[in-house]
Amino acid sequence: MRTCLNDNRGDFSSYGNLDISVATAQYREKLWVYESVVGFVNATVRLIVKLMTMAACWSMAILIAPLGLIYLYFYHSRSE
């Protein structure tokens, strides 16, 4: 079965033209599937990163919270 566009005779094969026609007709559907898969993967990665960030902040809250309170105290005491 010939699937290449050029079959070494200098002209285009009919199978190649058919492949291009089918690929063109199915372009929107393929793009939709691709964006759905990529969107799912991106959403999954974002969710994992968000959960890791939340876990890190929760586990270090005893250290981070006093620093944040000290920062807020000095920030607002200077502005008054």
pLDDT at position 73: 92
Torsion over CA: 69, 74, 78, 80 (sign)? positive
pLDDT at position 37: 82
Cβ atoms of 6 and 19 closer than 8 Å:
no
pLDDT at position 11: 52
Global pTM reads 0.48
The distance in angstroms from the start CA to the end CA of the chain is 81
User: Rounded to whole angstroms, how far apart are CA atoms 52 and 31?
Assistant: 31
User: Rounded to whole angstroms, how far apart are CA atoms 78 and 55?
Assistant: 33
What averages of pLDDT result for each successive group of 10 residues across the chain (80 residues)?
53 63 80 83 90 90 87 84
SS3 22: helix
Q: Where are the domains of the chain?
A: 27-79
